[in-house]
Structure 1
Amino acid sequence: MSTVQYCSSCGTKLEVKLIDDQERLACPSCPFVHWGSYSIGVGALLVKEGKVLLVRRAQEPGKGYWTNPGGYIEQHEQIQTTIEREVLEEAGITSKAVGILALRDQPRDIHNVYVAFEMEYISGEPTPDNYEVDAAGFFDAGEMASMNVAPFTKWLVDIALNGQSGGLEKDVSDDPRLKTAGLFKVPTGSSS
């Protein structure tokens, strides 16, 4: 169970209740249910001239490993904005999210979902932020063979370089109720 102890709505001590056939922490005084703890991570797969953008982690987790740029989404930030910001912050590259190539689901105490984006290069030269990462560059598969590339990043790089599909593509809806949503879909031949 979670380490959450008190209701975030009214402050009453939470109790374990059976809800939807699961034991969950719930408030005995109001309708609040603690559905769990979650995080959403994003990663960039940016290929330029057959080389993939990688950064070397300067902090834990993964200090010393080469990974694709990425991070965690902010509460009020669209997911594609997050990955574009992370690439710029970590590697000094301006890019655009064009699709989703892969997704990782890790159920654990803080359930993590990681979305790997196909990125379009716009401008810039790889420059590390010297805080989260201490090196950045574009590397081909041969160069990566002798680098300390994280196992998950190796899996993602294989998808970026050898995948058979462009994955889910970014979509824009004319419906005003969907204007603030980040929408991605399977390519259909129409862009509506």
Structure 2
Amino acid sequence: MTANYCLVCGHKLETRNIGGTLRRACPACDFVHWGTYSIGVGAVVVRDGKVLLVRRAQDPGRGLWTNPGGFSEQLEVIDKGIEREVLEETGVVATASRIISMRDKPGEAHNLYVVFLMDYVEGEPRSDDVEVDAAGFFSPEEMAGMNVAGLTRWLVGAALNGSGGGLVLDEEPTLSQKGNRLFRV
């Protein structure tokens, strides 16, 4: 998507070379459109050696089994965003314990996909019948016969066979960052 009008004053944007990159900028004020970005969040929720999966009811990926996830809202901290997404899609309450993976996908909209290992709290999986039409906990053996998306297979492997490391929320950082959430190894 190309920005055509200034988000500050409404003037038609022009293309300028800014720092060696062609960018859309306003000739009437100092607004520069730096690009389009999205932050996706994903969850790997494990209960009794089984992983929570959902079957996508919409494209892209309709019919594929994937890990629950979605997009982080603009005013939402990222770990609470994935907790919301899991609850909305599956009815399962889970809490984010650590970041286990991150995918960087530049493109027309630059997408960053952050995946959390999550602690199961309560609830039995059920689909929301909008974004997903089935949900359940599945063992790696059961997943072998299912139409599971490649990235989800990789994430499940990383979660179940990883070193147990990852980034965790620093509950008491020595650096004061009002409104920020800091994660560390």
TM-score, normalization by structure 1: 0.92
1:56-101, Cα deviation, whole Å (9 max, x unpaired): 0111111100000000011111111110001111111101011100
In structure 1, the residue matched to 2:23 is 24
Question: How far apart in 1 are the matches of 2:48 and 2:148?
Answer: 20
Structure 1 unmatched runs, 5+: 187-192
Question: How far apart in 2 are the matches of 1:150 and 1:121?
Answer: 22
- 1:182, distance to aligned residue in structure 2 (A): 2.3
Question: How far apart in 2 are the matches of 1:46 and 1:23?
Answer: 42
How well do the aligned residues superpose, as a CA RMSD in angstroms? 1.4
Question: How far apart in 2 are the matches of 1:179 and 1:56?
Answer: 38
After superposition, residues 49-88 of structure 1 pair within 5 angstroms as: 49-88=48-87
Size of the aligned set, in residue pairs, is: 185
- 1:177, distance to aligned residue in structure 2 (A): 4.9
Q: Secondary structure at the match of 1:178?
A: coil
1:121-151, Cα deviation, whole Å (9 max, x unpaired): 1111111111111111111111000000011
Question: How far apart in 1 are the matches of 2:32 and 2:183?
Answer: 30
After superposition, residues 81-120 of structure 1 pair within 5 angstroms as: 81-120=80-119
Q: For the structure 1 residues 168 and 24, does the alpha-carbon distance in structure 2 shift closer, same or farther, using more than 3 Å as the test?
A: same
In structure 2, the residue matched to 1:132 is 131
Question: How far apart in 1 are the matches of 2:178 and 2:93?
Answer: 23
Q: Secondary structure at the match of 2:172?
A: coil
Task: Give the AA of the match of 2:37.
Answer: Y
- 1:153, distance to aligned residue in structure 2 (A): 0.6
Contact 1:47–1:119 under 8 Å retained in 2: yes
Structure 2 unmatched runs, 5+: none
Question: How far apart in 2 are the matches of 1:84 and 1:29?
Answer: 42
In structure 1, the residue matched to 2:179 is 180
In structure 2, the residue matched to 1:150 is 149
In structure 2, the residue matched to 1:3 is 2
- 1:176, distance to aligned residue in structure 2 (A): 9.2
Task: Give the AA of the match of 2:172.
Answer: S
Question: How far apart in 1 are the matches of 2:67 and 2:178?
Answer: 29
Contact 1:93–1:124 under 8 Å retained in 2: yes
- 1:41, distance to aligned residue in structure 2 (A): 0.2
Contact 1:173–1:179 under 8 Å retained in 2: no
Contact 1:66–1:149 under 8 Å retained in 2: yes
Question: How far apart in 1 are the matches of 2:12 and 2:160?
Answer: 51
Task: Give the AA of the match of 1:19.
Answer: I
- 1:171, distance to aligned residue in structure 2 (A): 1.4
Question: How far apart in 1 are the matches of 2:94 and 2:148?
Answer: 22
